[in-house]
Amino acid sequence: MHRPIPPSSDHWVAEYTGLLRRQACAAAEEHVAEARALGGRLRAGGATPSRVVAGAAAALTALTRGRRVRLRDAIAADGVLRPALLAAFDALAPGSAGADGARDPASRWAELEERSRRFDELLAHARDPIFCVRLDTRELVYVTPAAAARYGLDLDELRREGIAGMLARIHPEDRARVEATYTRGPDGRNPTAETGEVEYRLRVADGSYRWFNSHRVWVRDAAGRPRYMIGQVRDVHAQRQATEHLREALAYVEGLLKALPDTLFRVRRDGLLLDFKPAPDFVPYAAPAEFLGRNILEVLPAPVSERILAVIRDAVDHGRTETIEYELAYPDQDRVFEARAARCAPDEALVIVRDPTDRRRAEATVRASEERLRMVLDATADGVWDYHVPTDTLHFSPSWLRLLGLEPADVEPRLRSWVDRLHPDDRAAALSALQAHLRGDTPAYRAEFRMRTAADEWKWILARGRVVERDACNEAVRVVGTHTDIGAQKQTEEALRASEEQYRLLVEHQTDMVCRTDPEGRLLFVSPSYCDTFGVSEAELLGRPFIPLVHEEDRAAVEAGWNRTFAPPYASEVVERALTRHGWRWQAWHNKAVLAADGQVTAVVGVGRDIHAQKLAELELERYRQELERRVAERTRELADLNRRLEAELAERREAQAALRRARDELEARVAARTAELLASEERWRSLVTTAPDFIMLLDLDGTIRYLNRASRGLEVEDNLGTHLTLHAFPEFAPRISACLEEVARTGRFVEFEMAGLRPDASTAWYACRVGPFRQDGRIVALTCIATDITDRKRAEQELERHREQLEERVRERTAQLVAVNAQLQEELARRARIEAELRNSEQMFRTLAETVPAAIVIAQGERIRFANGMTAQVVGRPIEEVLRTPPWEFVHPEMRAVVRARALDPDPAPSGPARYELRVLRPDGTDRWLDFSVARIELEGQPAALAVALDATARKAAAAKERQHLDQLAHVGRVSVVGELAAGVAHDLAQPVSAILYYAKGALARPDTRAATSEHVRTVLERIARQSERAAEIIRRLKDFVRRAEPRRTPQQLAGLVAEAVHLAEPLSRAKRAPIAVSAADELPLVTVDPIQIEQVLINLLQNAIEAVEGLPPEHRRITVRVHAPTPTEVCVSVTDHGPGVSPAVRPNLFTSFCTTKPDRLGVGLSMARSIIEAHDGRLWLEDTPAGPTTFTFALPVEPAPTAVEER
């Protein structure tokens, strides 16, 4: 069946076929562009080329199945394509038509197959892959051989995998987007558009992903539904990489400009300032609003601006970078700037300005410091090393080489040179310590090891070092340290270790208790015997005070002895009762203080012994002694009375005996003279003798009694006559009696003796006998004996003898005690001699130390300086002789002189510890110097004195003033930045009073027109306008007071008032963020001495952080609380609490360091500046640790009066 060919399709089929033939080997981009242009022309002509492509696709589908199918078979198989293909390809080549306009069907099919062959050849030589997919079955109908080369895959494998395999190779992030094109077009499930593009990443043969661009055309059926999709794929990987590189380059340039620490100016060739990018810490010569849009000649001084303009013109005209250095006079100081100009446009230059003033000053300071360090290193005996980790370069100082006896040529500047000289036993530990510090595990490097010297000897070395430079990854770059010879120290440590071991063994095995305590009385060491005595383990005793173990009645005495240990001679002995495991027992303790190098007591060592039995015996002996003394006193009184009576009686008896002797002598004389008469008058004589109170006997020369008077007191005279005298005495007296009788008989002299015998009543009687010769005719014919009874006297003498023996015994005991006391005194004298020698050595050491330390040392007593070292003369700038004769306060600045003199003459003793002051000394040349004084009370020659040590603090005071100035500048910048953030809220607050003023003013202006205005109405309106003006002025005043840059001035303030002021300033921001602030303040808070502007800045910074922390929460949870309280009498605290997400653990360690922030638009200096301000006020700022709770920032300020001229620290 033949159908006529539409005239409109004849020309475009031939044109399209010729175009495909011409573009068989052309670039894919040009082919696609021209194909799109052709399609546009076809659509403009009313044709549908999709029918042509669909017919070709049917034939190509058959080719992919391995069989050659002619187009006519494809046409016959598809009823939709048949009319379209016949209409499209029915036109034969020119000149082949018959005269009637009809063709032979065979020739038409031949022509169609020829065109199909040429179309196949065209697709086979196309550079970009072309594919055809059936949408209902998602079957890959056809793909050109170029796909194998483009994807790096085998064509058969690609055909086997089909669309599913291709989708599996697409990147997971792009797969869903690509797969959607097979189910719906770009306009929905039933697309109306004919073409579409999609870019995706596809995995090629080497496993990598490449970017491809697919241009797709949908072939529709008669109902207009998409049936086939034909697409062309282009490799756009290089283009995407170039685009990505360009984007990264732009981001890099933007980041570089943001991170550039210099200031950028964009200037026109004629000097007009167009743009300005400031550096973080750059202070412009004028405000940006004053110089942007103006000529540089109008902004900067004439000489400087002309030089800069000449450099800018040279840079623009010649296209090279020009450099200039100039100086500008700022209000506080002159600053130097470096500027570099480069052409950035035909008539513009980019000027980079850097302020090297601080850097150059710092470099000068560093050079001076390095010079001092070099001098110190040359003078010290320690070896210095410098290790550069990335290059493994290790530099050694000359002192290091001298330490090991090496020459520079003997050591290679590598770490291996040091490692090779380490002792094998110490190498691992030394390297491990170094690696740990390089990793940042330790704050400093410290190790002890042995190193081999040039003489092959091992020397003990102490290595210390610290990382001084790290890179951006926190890796160590440079380490600097020293090596110190500690050989002598090691020997001393070894000796101490051996001594300590001996001491430990001695302590552990002795029965006495040993303990060591700190100055507060807490136990630091106890011996095993100590633990055994008290029945408590060592762990339970250590760290506890020993006083609770002492009996309450003995604690006062023990504490007094303990206090004596802290004063010379730093020893004490106490006897106490302690609660042991056997109950209360008596113990004797000897305590000795352990002194540090500065003379301070660092510990107390005590040795104790159980003297319970001895103490009980002493107490018992004391009781016996007291009882004996009592009885001795009583007996002494009795004996004294008896002795007085005996002495009186003896006196009487001695008088009687004297009288008796006189009478006896007289009697003997009379008897001798009148013997004859007496013998004649025997009766008279016997009567006289009988009445005598004494025994009168007449004895033979051998001692036989021939006569005895009647004074025998119970003796029968007749019974005793004819007996020997010795029979009436105890046997021990017989030899004495016989000797006396023989002596009288031989010499004729009177002899006296005493004897004792028994009375008839068996009692003992003592007699004093006087024997004399009895002469007759001048010849001794008998002996006379007069015996006096002295029994009572003898008894008294015996009692006195007994008392004398007791007294001698007591004297011997007292003598023994005195000998022991004398021995103790000798020991005390020896100990005092040793202490005096130690004191002399200590005095010599003190004098040597005083003359060598770099501090002024003064001992003052009253108005006189008793001692001053050489540094004192240097500090005050006067000779030492003048210093010693000048009152101490004469050196002090006149402003402080009265206070110093009052303190020096204050009779009240100083506190237990040294007092610290800051004084200003006036030198003769008119300059003054600040000194840090430390004063302590001492005794000198029994009188109170003051020992003062002073260090020069002039440089520190200047540095502190400069630091405070920098802190004030930084605080001012922080307040300005805070005002910028509060500007919106402030503008809102200002809008209300300004609107009210405008309303009242308009109302007042309208009143005269109505003629209803009265003076009262006008007054009311004006008062309302005045109130609103005052309200606006108050807002502006608060803002101006907060922003103004004034000198810090500390005055007594109530923190509650400052908190209220800060909350009022932050109220616009909190109201805008819907974050209410609640304030609670305690009553009657003490005053604090602060700068109110700086404290308000700290409060606003904390409030601003709290508001931003709760910004992301629901409005009902945005709560901020400010609490003012005084937890202790010495400080007042302010706590700012928010219920936000809190501070992450990663940020917490660096929270108060500079440039630590979690906000991309912030610098991170707020909390660092706040802490600096609080610490400058001697306060503290910290983050309270409340896990899973609210975030609370608290700062505390001391309750102190403002510092005076002489500030006691």
pLDDT in tens, 639-657: 788 878 878 877 887 787 7
- CATH class entry, domain 683-691+698-789: alpha beta
The residues with which 705 forms a beta bridge, in sequence order, are 699
Q: Higher model confidence: residue 102 or residue 589?
A: 589
pLDDT band at residue 485 under the 50/70/90 scheme = confident
Please say if the pLDDT value at position 407 is more than 80: yes
Please say if the pLDDT value at position 190 is more than 60: no
Top mean pLDDT of 46-60, 774-788, 935-949 is at 774-788
Q: Higher model confidence: residue 969 or residue 722?
A: 722
Instruction: Please check whether residue 37 is in contact with residue 121, taking contact to mean a CB–CB distance below 8 angstroms.
Output: no
Q: Higher model confidence: residue 540 or residue 94?
A: 540
Stretch 1096-1118: mean pLDDT: 84
pLDDT in tens, 432-452: 999 999 888 999 999 999 999
What gap in Å lies between CA 329 and CA 685, rounded to an integer? 153
Identify which of 699, 694, 728, 687 has the alpha carbon closest to the alpha carbon of residue 711: 694
Q: What pLDDT is stored for residue 425 in this prediction?
A: 92
pLDDT in tens, 262-286: 888 889 999 898 887 787 777 777 7
Q: What pLDDT is stored for residue 217 in this prediction?
A: 78
Q: What pLDDT is stored for residue 1123 in this prediction?
A: 92
What gap in Å lies between CA 58 and CA 61, rounded to an integer? 5
**CATH architecture for residues 389-471:** 2-Layer Sandwich (3.30)
Q: Is the dihedral of CA 317, 323, 326, 331 positive or negative?
A: positive
Average pLDDT, the chain: 75
Q: What pLDDT is stored for residue 943 in this prediction?
A: 77
- Edge-first strand order for the sheet with 943-952 is 864-868, 856-861, 943-952, 928-940, 915-922
What gap in Å lies between CA 1147 and CA 1159, rounded to an integer? 12
Instruction: Please check whether residue 1195 is in contact with residue 1177, taking contact to mean a CB–CB distance below 8 angstroms.
Output: no
Give the N- to C-terminal CA distance of the chain in Å, as an integer. 120
pLDDT band at residue 985 under the 50/70/90 scheme = low
pLDDT in tens, 1033-1083: 666 665 565 555 455 678 898 888 888 888 887 887 788 788 888 999 888
pLDDT band at residue 1132 under the 50/70/90 scheme = very high
Q: What pLDDT is stored for residue 1194 in this prediction?
A: 93
pLDDT band at residue 34 under the 50/70/90 scheme = very low
Stretch 1-12: mean pLDDT: 37
pLDDT in tens, 500-521: 666 666 666 667 788 889 988 8
Which region among 90-99, 115-124, 482-491, 760-769 has the lowest average model confidence (pLDDT)? 90-99
pLDDT band at residue 465 under the 50/70/90 scheme = very high
pLDDT band at residue 1196 under the 50/70/90 scheme = very high
Q: Which residues contact 1151 (CB under 8 A, 6 or more apart)?
A: 1143, 1167, 1183
The CATH superfamily label for domain 509-610 reads PAS domain (3.30.450.20)
What gap in Å lies between CA 347 and CA 272, rounded to an integer? 11
**CATH architecture for residues 247-356:** 2-Layer Sandwich (3.30)
CATH 3.30.565.10 is right for the domain spanning 1049-1209: yes
Q: What percent of the chain has pLDDT over 90?
A: 5
Q: What pLDDT is stored for residue 138 in this prediction?
A: 76
Backbone angles phi, psi at 857, to 5 degrees: -120, 125
What are the structure tokens assigned to 54, written together?
């669909």
Please say if the pLDDT value at position 333 is more than 50: yes
Q: What pLDDT is stored for residue 329 in this prediction?
A: 82
Fold matches, 683-691+698-789 and 1049-1209: no
Q: For tokens 């700062």, name the residue.
A: 1195
CA 349-353-358 angle, 5° bins: 175
Please say if the pLDDT value at position 533 is more than 80: yes
Stretch 693-708: mean pLDDT: 84
Bond prior to 356 in cis (omega within 30° of 0): no
pLDDT band at residue 677 under the 50/70/90 scheme = low
Strands (E), 1070-1146: 1077-1081, 1088-1090, 1120-1128, 1131-1138
What are the structure tokens assigned to 354, written together?
């850097």
Q: Residue 972 in 3-state DSSP?
A: helix
Q: Higher model confidence: residue 752 or residue 17?
A: 752
Q: What is the DSSP string of 468-483?
A: EEE-TTS-EEEEEEEE
CA atoms within a 13 Å half-sphere pointing along the CA-CB vector of 196: 21
What are the structure tokens assigned to 830, written together?
């020896």
Q: What percent of the chain has pLDDT over 70?
A: 72
Please say if the pLDDT value at position 1184 is more than 80: yes
Stretch 729-751: mean pLDDT: 89
What are the structure tokens assigned to 246, written together?
């360009």
Which pTM was predicted? 0.28
pLDDT band at residue 1185 under the 50/70/90 scheme = low
Q: What pLDDT is stored for residue 502 in this prediction?
A: 65
Stretch 1145-1157: mean pLDDT: 70
What are the structure tokens assigned to 63, written together?
């080719």
Which region among 20-34, 123-137, 210-224, 854-868 has the lowest average model confidence (pLDDT)? 20-34
Q: What pLDDT is stored for residue 48 in this prediction?
A: 44
pLDDT band at residue 971 under the 50/70/90 scheme = low
- CATH class entry, domain 853-951: alpha beta
Q: Residue 1108 in 3-state DSSP?
A: helix
What gap in Å lies between CA 84 and CA 68, rounded to an integer? 22
Q: What pLDDT is stored for residue 853 in this prediction?
A: 65
CA 495-500-502 angle, 5° bins: 100
Q: What pLDDT is stored for residue 1134 in this prediction?
A: 94
Contacts 24+ apart (CB under 8 A), 306-313: 308/339, 308/351, 309/271, 311/339, 311/341, 312/267, 312/269, 312/271, 312/341, 312/349, 312/351, 313/269
What gap in Å lies between CA 559 and CA 898, rounded to an integer? 41
Q: Residue 331 in 3-state DSSP?
A: coil
Give me the helices (H) in 380-486, please.
398-404, 415-420, 424-439
- Edge-first strand order for the sheet with 348-354 is 273-277, 263-268, 348-354, 334-345, 322-329
Q: What pLDDT is stored for residue 1122 in this prediction?
A: 93
Total residue count of the chain as it appears in this document: 1209
Q: For tokens 């300004």, name the residue.
A: 994
pLDDT in tens, 987-1027: 555 555 665 566 556 566 655 554 445 667 677 767 767 66
Please say if the pLDDT value at position 983 is more than 70: no
**373-384 as b/e, with b when 16 or more CB fall inside 10 Å?**
eeeebeeeebbb
Q: What pLDDT is stored for residue 284 in this prediction?
A: 77
Pairing of strands 513-517, 601-610: antiparallel
Please say if the pLDDT value at position 604 is more than 70: yes
Q: What pLDDT is stored for residue 995 in this prediction?
A: 54
What are the structure tokens assigned to 1195, written together?
């700062």
Write down the CATH number for the domain with range 953-1047. Answer: 1.10.287
Domain boundaries along the sequence of the chain:
7-237, 247-356, 389-471, 509-610, 683-691+698-789, 853-951, 953-1047, 1049-1209
Backbone angles phi, psi at 371, to 5 degrees: -65, -45
Stretch 174-180: mean pLDDT: 82
What gap in Å lies between CA 1144 and CA 1153, rounded to an integer? 15
Instruction: Please check whether residue 102 is in contact with residue 126, taking contact to mean a CB–CB distance below 8 angstroms.
Output: no
Q: What pLDDT is stored for residue 96 in this prediction?
A: 40
Cβ burial, residue 332 (10 Å; 0-12/13-18/19+): exposed
pLDDT in tens, 907-962: 555 455 567 777 778 788 878 888 877 787 777 777 788 878 887 777 777 766 66
What are the structure tokens assigned to 564, written together?
């004596």
Please say if the pLDDT value at position 1198 is more than 90: yes
What gap in Å lies between CA 671 and CA 689, rounded to an integer? 12
Please say if the pLDDT value at position 977 is more than 70: no
Q: What pLDDT is stored for residue 377 in this prediction?
A: 64
Q: What pLDDT is stored for residue 823 in this prediction?
A: 82
Q: What pLDDT is stored for residue 49 in this prediction?
A: 41
pLDDT band at residue 404 under the 50/70/90 scheme = confident
Q: What pLDDT is stored for residue 70 in this prediction?
A: 42
- CATH class entry, domain 7-237: alpha beta
Contacts 24+ apart (CB under 8 A), 213-219: 214/178, 214/181, 215/32, 216/181, 217/50, 217/53, 218/50, 218/135, 218/185, 218/191, 218/193, 218/194, 219/50, 219/51, 219/53, 219/54, 219/57
Full 3-state SS string of 223-284: CCCEEEEEEEEEECHHHHHHHHHHHHHHHHHHHHHHHCCCEEEEEECCCEEEEEECCCCCCC
Q: Higher model confidence: residue 943 or residue 549?
A: 549
